[in-house]
Amino acid sequence: MSEHQHLEAFTFAGQQDTINLGLDTSAPFPLALKPADGWSPTLEESIQTIKKLSESGELFEKVKKHGGAVLIRGLPIKTPQDYSDVAHAFGFAAHEEVGRPPLRTVLAKNVKTANEGPPELPIWPHNEYGWSTINPSWLTFACLHTPDSGGETPITSSIGLATALKKKAPAFVEKLLQKGVKYVYRYGLEDVKSNTGTSVIGAYGQHVQPDDGEETRRKKIEQEVKRHSDRFEWHDDGSLSVTHIVPIIRKHDDTGLTTWFGNVTSAWGRSKFHGATESPYRGDDDSYHPPPEYGDGTPIEKEYLDLALELAESLQVLVKWEVGDIVLLDNYAVMHSRSPWTGKRTVLAALWDDDRTRISDYSAQD
């Protein structure tokens, strides 16, 4: 590899300073890299460059310094297979999804559509599977087609959100620390046109066979549910509610800082958007959107829900996609969302595990 064949940093409008997000040092969030001037890497050169940076540990030191996110622009990623090959160069193990709410289609090894909800529906800030005890450590996204308008992927520092909430609503943070958060997801018999639109079978039915009887079918589904929750209920219409009680104020082990890891802001944004803020929480899309509660089942005050969502959105950095872009996110340090769009937009996702435990709970003594 000649001297000029490397990735160099660039800046773009809207980047934040990590010092303002609660980190100890000043650096742009996210880190943005592109091939050095004069170098147009082939796909194989792109793969080898990322592999070398990853295996040396240099890339992950940079990701940590820059708040948990990196955008790499200017690579020749044109197909789902190209993206899969490049994404695997980071060296992660594939994450298995359990209880998947959105519709996704596998297009290449470990590469899926990000969310097949309709383009006019936004998705609000969240950590991937922040509502579950089974969650990916890292996420990658790549862009194959840019829309006519909109379609950005806003990213928010979870560490920045935790820092801001501790300043503005310390009582809320303390209640979350003591009680955790309760999420309820309800899966119907059929997929619906929604950003949380998968069915019971789509979420938990990977072992169900077409000729299974009702009892066998339910038993197989319940076995999958129990991998991450013992709280579930079948309804008369055949739908299934699954309840998760998990912490949200967590310790980000790589930095030692407090982070917000959860889906409170996305659930509340969705409840408000679909007019489902009151019981029975069935929205204008015919899907259920119950807002999260404290872990003990008491309601989270709406002013706190509004504040958390407002702060998360105020901290957002918009990733305005270009074809070939790939983004790596530390799922425990960065939330992501999605802006509505017009035209054709293809952004694919891949979820990854790490062999290290990278997030931990606060004890009563902390």
Question: For residue range 160-201, what is the model confidence (pLDDT) as tens digits?
Answer: 999 999 999 999 999 999 999 999 888 888 755 444 557 898
State residue 194's pLDDT score.
47
State residue 173's pLDDT score.
98
Q: Are 262 and 181 contacting, i.e. CB atoms less than 8 angstroms apart?
A: yes
Cα–chain center distance at 108? 20
CA dihedral 140, 32, 22, 291 (to 10 degrees): -40
Choose between 199 and 85: higher pLDDT. Answer: 85
Tell me the backbone φ, ψ of residue 285, rounded to 5 degrees.
Answer: -100, 10
Q: How far apart are CA 141 and CA 154, in angstroms?
A: 12
Q: Residue with structure tokens 């017009």?
A: 342
State residue 113's pLDDT score.
84
Q: How many residues does the chain have?
A: 366
Q: How far apart are CA 228 and CA 249, in angstroms?
A: 19
Q: Are 349 and 140 contacting, i.e. CB atoms less than 8 angstroms apart?
A: yes
Strand, helix or coil at 143?
A: strand
pLDDT tier, 1 (very low <50, low <70, confident <90, very high otherwise): very low
State residue 290's pLDDT score.
83
User: ω into residue 125 within 30 of 0, thus cis?
Assistant: no
User: Is the pLDDT confidence value at 66 over 90?
Assistant: yes
User: Is the pLDDT confidence value at 115 over 90?
Assistant: no
- What would the pLDDT profile of 243-286 be if each residue is shown by its tens digit? 999 999 999 999 999 999 999 999 999 999 999 999 888 888 87
Q: Report the CATH fold assignment for 162-310.
A: Double-stranded beta-helix (3.60.130)
Average pLDDT, the chain: 93
Q: Are 261 and 127 contacting, i.e. CB atoms less than 8 angstroms apart?
A: yes
User: Is the pLDDT confidence value at 2 over 60?
Assistant: no
- What would the pLDDT profile of 116-171 be if each residue is shown by its tens digit? 678 998 999 999 999 999 999 999 999 999 999 999 999 999 999 999 999 999 99
Tell me the backbone φ, ψ of residue 196, rounded to 5 degrees.
Answer: -125, 45
Handedness of CA 95, 96, 101, 107 (dihedral sign): positive
Q: What is the largest CA-CA distance in the chain?
A: 67
Q: Report the CATH fold assignment for 7-158+317-361.
A: Double-stranded beta-helix (3.60.130)
State residue 195's pLDDT score.
46
Helices (H), the chain: 43-56, 58-65, 80-88, 158-168, 170-179, 200-204, 214-225, 264-273, 302-314
State residue 103's pLDDT score.
62
State residue 365's pLDDT score.
56
Structure tokens at 166: 């501790």
Structure tokens at 284: 């204008």
- Residue closest to 136 by CA, chosen among 94, 105, 174, 194: 94
Mean pLDDT of 205-227: 94
Q: How far apart are CA 255 and CA 359, in angstroms?
A: 10
**Residues of each domain in the chain carrying CATH 3.60.130.10:** 7-158+317-361, 162-310
Q: How far apart are CA 19 and CA 31, in angstroms?
A: 14
Exposed, middle or buried by CB within 10 Å (0-12, 13-18, 19+), for 20? middle
